[in-house]
Amino acid sequence: METANKIEIPEGLDADLVLSESMKNQLRQICIYASLAGIDMDEIRRKLTEEGILPCSDKNSSKRALSEIYDHVACSF
């Protein structure tokens, strides 16, 4: 588990979102899961940017983006 604790949110992804501490923790957990599952978070970020979901300007749009990130990670299998 020591490796999982060192996994951080990919550079730039958190800058595209307006996150509360709770939302940062959720994103960090999604990133840990994605890393352990071999899912490329940069690819997900690129897709969401192309779709116009990222970058976000407020917490409400960031909540929707966080949900989209979760959906992309969960559906990667």
Please spell the DSSP secondary structure of 9-75, one letter per residue. PPTTTGGGS---HHHHHHHHHHHHHHHHHT--HHHHHHHHHHTT--S-SSHHHHHHHHHHHHHHHHT
26: confidence class by pLDDT, cuts 50, 70, 90: very high
Domain extent for 61: 2-74
Residue 20 has pLDDT above 80, yes or no: yes
The predicted model scores a pTM of: 0.86
Span 44-75, pLDDT tens digits: 999 999 999 999 999 999 999 999 999 999 99
> Could you give the number of structural domains in the chain?
1
